[in-house]
Structure 1
Amino acid sequence: MLPEWLSGWCREHLGAPPATVLHSSVHMSEVFGLRLIDGRDVAVKARPDQNGREATCVEVQRFLAANGYPCAAPLTGVTVRDGWAVHAEEWRPGGLVLSDPGPGTARLYAGPLAAMVKLAADIEVGGDAPGAVEPPLPNPEWTRWDHEEPGPWPHIAYLSGHDHDVPVFVTEAAQRIHDRLSAVYLPRVLGHADWEAQNLRWHDDRPWAVHDWDSLAWLPEAAIAGAASGSFASAESPTLAPLASSEAFLEAYAEARGRAFDDQEIEVAWAASLWLALHNARSEALHGSRPVALTAVAQQAEERLRLAGA
């Protein structure tokens, strides 16, 4: 059943109410795939408002789509109702998920991310020029390692209060990564910070659709690439890619960007690659979930910490 507000919102902002529901999902946001009575297929997305970062996410997505990047083009701007940020975009179904965690797949995933970061570099961030956007802050909670709160973890309401249930090695690794990344002063770029298999669709080896632009971040490029190098294999459950695959991802990313990372950036990339898995391992421990990320962290943390200089 559709929420009561949705029909009126579609009339006001899209000029027609829904006729058919094509898809609906509720997780960290609400997504409704709709066929309107005039025959158009659209997606309406609603998520908790975070003081305007959603508007930046939508405008960056709009710029990318207009310049040929494989993502749905926004059809509206962002409106805020009852604390929720809402917008509509093209309905872009189809394509396959590539969930193989091997180095070959890692190289495929690196290219579209590098292309996205390179294209988004043409957007002015924080300036007064036409088309400028504000930085999409705060960054997504799973990349918020640069917080200034006590302990290794940022405050996340649904992950707070029971950290005694988290294995000590996870918390200790998180503290080391937090300390390493908090000391980094590198230029920031716009990048997709949830570069998981579940958020991309492919036609053979060509990207068809990149989803989840709510996950735009404002971070050093090495951190964007590094986080993706660890998370790209996450399909049904968040996990951590094999070490060799993360290495292949970073090599392919640098090749696609035409610039090798320096020694500090390489360490930042490896640190970011582990942080997302630590975040997910913590969540598994707190919620009693199947230990997918937790197992991968137990197997790989020490080597990734070494590569991160942490």
Structure 2
Amino acid sequence: MSVPSLPEWLPGWCRAHLGSAPATALFQANGMSSVFGLRLTDGTPVVVKARPDDGRAASCVAAQERLADRGFPCARPLTPVTTAGALAVHAEEFRPGGEVLRGDSLEVAVRYARVFASSMALLADFTAPPPLPNPRWIRWDHPDSGVWPAIDFLDERDQRAVPAFVVDTASRARTRLLAADLPRTLGHGDYEAQNLRWHGSRIHTVHDWDSLTWQPEAALAGAASGTFASAGPPTLAPIESSAAFLTAYQHLRGRPFTPAELQVAWAASLWPAAHNARWEALHDDPPQCTSALREQAAERLHLAHA
């Protein structure tokens, strides 16, 4: 990839904050953030991330640095968060390699639970301003009217396309979650297989710390128990695998959830799936999450006492 394809602000930002200009563009990806893999003129490979400055980035990067300092497998930030126009920008280590661990078996669920529990333990006593608002796909705690958080590019579409059972599931799960009075903590809010890389059974890197979320521990673990198997288009793990994840997570954290916390975990397992099912319907995408939600919603709602 040629350097001239980079945004105009990026070479100057690299010189100012990394001491060297880009020589080669290794890759570029665009999603919630724009991500640039670069080799600098001094030979150093780096990753620069830029996203609209919504006030979340500084806390997310500080937490990521805390994890890296404590030996957790994630890219170490190389700069604090700065601004480039309306963007929040930082650089971090380039950590290539590793493979996606695919599958949703009980064994795979326990592997994912082990990594998630490790990250939660390392963040348990971390203090920083909460990175709010939470990411849209896990934002059941929004202050907006109606079931869903206000998201203009979704709200402007024809909501009649969303199946009634998806809206009902989201509403019942959210009601149960909002009824809980539990302390909040930081945790990874987009814990999908596609965001982790492994060397065999050993975790190599956990990506996407832009998605840190400020919610009750049980809700974060519950959401992760439903999303961990998403290696491509989002899906919902089988109920048995979510149960194995939650059992392993509690054991690894050394504290069983209370009955109320378990209910919150099961309710939270439904919210990302409901968000993704709504997305599928509004974009006329294949109904992968919708089908899984249709099969599992009743049992998960039962477990949630919702």
Normalised by the shorter chain, which TM-score bucket? over 0.9
Q: For residue 277 of structure 2, give the secondary structure of its aligned residue in structure 1.
A: helix
What is the alpha-carbon distance in structure 2 between the residues aligned to residue 159 and residue 101 of structure 1?
29
2:60 alignment partner, one of 45, 48, 57: 57
What is the alpha-carbon distance in structure 1 between the residues aligned to residue 289 and residue 77 of structure 2?
33
Deviation at 1:165, TM superposition (A): 1.0
**Residue matched to 2:242:** 246
Deviation at 1:151, TM superposition (A): 1.7
Deviation at 1:184, TM superposition (A): 1.2
1:89 alignment partner, one of 92, 110, 133: 92
What is the alpha-carbon distance in structure 2 between the residues aligned to residue 292 and residue 123 of structure 1?
36
Equivalent residues in 2 for 1:154-169, closer than 5 Å: 154-161=149-156, 162-169=158-165
Structure 1 runs of 4+ aligned residues shifted over 6 Å read none
Q: Which moved more, 1:146-155 or 1:39-48?
A: 146-155
Q: For residue 59 of structure 1, give the secondary structure of its aligned residue in structure 2.
A: helix
**Residue matched to 1:220:** 216
Deviation at 1:204, TM superposition (A): 1.1
Question: What CA RMSD, in Å, does the superposition of the two structures yield over aligned residues?
Answer: 0.9
Deviation at 1:75, TM superposition (A): 0.3
Q: For residue 149 of structure 1, give the secondary structure of its aligned residue in structure 2.
A: coil
**Residue matched to 2:30:** 26
What is the alpha-carbon distance in structure 2 between the residues aligned to residue 239 and residue 32 of structure 1?
27
Q: Does 1:137 align with 2:132?
A: yes
Q: TM-score, normalised by structure 2?
A: 0.97
**Residue matched to 2:51:** 47
Q: For residue 273 of structure 2, give the secondary structure of its aligned residue in structure 1.
A: helix
What is the alpha-carbon distance in structure 1 between the residues aligned to residue 144 and residue 238 of structure 2?
31
Q: Deviations over 1:51-75 (max 9, x none)?
A: x211000000001101100000000
Q: Does 1:16 align with 2:20?
A: yes
1:186 alignment partner, one of 177, 182, 185: 182
Q: TM-score, normalised by structure 1?
A: 0.95
Deviation at 1:260, TM superposition (A): 0.7
Deviation at 1:22, TM superposition (A): 1.2
Q: For residue 89 of structure 1, give the secondary structure of its aligned residue in structure 2.
A: strand
What is the alpha-carbon distance in structure 2 between the residues aligned to residue 146 and residue 181 of structure 1?
8
Q: For residue 253 of structure 1, give the secondary structure of its aligned residue in structure 2.
A: helix
Question: How many equivalent residue pairs?
Answer: 301
Q: Deviations over 1:79-110 (max 9, x none)?
A: 12222111000000101101211111000000
What is the alpha-carbon distance in structure 2 between the residues aligned to residue 159 and residue 83 of structure 1?
23
Percent of aligned positions with the same letter in both sequences? 58
Q: Does the Cα contact within 8 Å between 2:9 and 2:84 map onto a contact in 1? A: no
The residue identity in structure 1 corresponding to 2:169 is A
Q: Does 1:75 align with 2:78?
A: yes
The residue identity in structure 1 corresponding to 2:32 is M
Unaligned runs of 5+ in 2: none
What is the alpha-carbon distance in structure 2 between the residues aligned to residue 198 and residue 263 of structure 1?
31
